[in-house]
Amino acid sequence: MNSDPYYQRGIPPRNLISLPADCSAPNDGICCSVSKLPYLQCVISETLRLYPAGPLLVPHYSSNDCTISRYDVPHGTILLVNAWATHRDPKLWKDADSFIPERFENINSENNEGYKLMPFGLGRRACPGKSLAQRMMGLTLGSLIQCFDWKRIDDNEIDMVEGKGLTMPKAVPLEAMCKPRPIMEFLL
């Protein structure tokens, strides 16, 4: 029998982020444990891949004439990168439309695997708040998992269809029921 307390609650570690047992101690908040949760970071990366905050990256002007993938780009051209399309390109991602956090477990910067994911842009013009945003997502998601038991409202498939708008919000809001865990009073 598996001794993992989350597994015993019916939460298989691969279906939901399994927090280490030491995260349950009243004196140990999620803040000091996020670095010990690599699967949590995989879930965040996969979520940002499928549902970036903005489908298009910040536009840039070309400062010189250049060629990008056989296209001649004259000086002063406005360049847009469609992160949403890149993140769902089956030439770049196996099962591109499926939520598979494990694809980020062994990202290797030497073979440019990390450069396919760009929800914050890349290089020197990437979002300056990238590190803060990723840290806050880890802390928020980790705290929500640590402090609450979550249940779906019904047995219907979760509708992940995107709506219209600049940030492509979900067309149908997600509804879930949360029950506070006893540890919450010690952490918040």
H helical segments located in the chain: 5-8, 38-50, 83-87, 130-147, 184-187
Q: In this predicted structure, what is the pLDDT of residue 98? A: 93
The model's pLDDT over 127-158, given as tens digits with 9 standing for 90+, comes to 999 999 999 999 999 888 888 898 988 888 88
Query: Which residues belong to the annotated binding site for heme?
Result: 127
- The answer to whether residue 112 scores a pLDDT higher than 90 is no
Q: In this predicted structure, what is the pLDDT of residue 155? A: 87
Nearest to 44 by CA among 54, 36, 33, 52: 52
Two tokens, residue 75:
């000086």
The model's pLDDT over 6-39, given as tens digits with 9 standing for 90+, comes to 434 444 444 444 444 444 444 455 555 777 788 8
Two tokens, residue 108:
């290797």
Q: In this predicted structure, what is the pLDDT of residue 35? A: 75
Residue type, 104: F
- The answer to whether residue 96 scores a pLDDT higher than 60 is yes
Nearest to 105 by CA among 39, 173, 184: 39
Q: Cβ neighbours of residue 115 under 8 Å, at least 6 residues apart? A: 122
- How confident is the prediction for the chain on average, in pLDDT? 80
In the chain, what are the domains? Answer: 5-54+83-187 (1.10.630.10)
Query: Which residues belong to the annotated binding site?
Result: 127
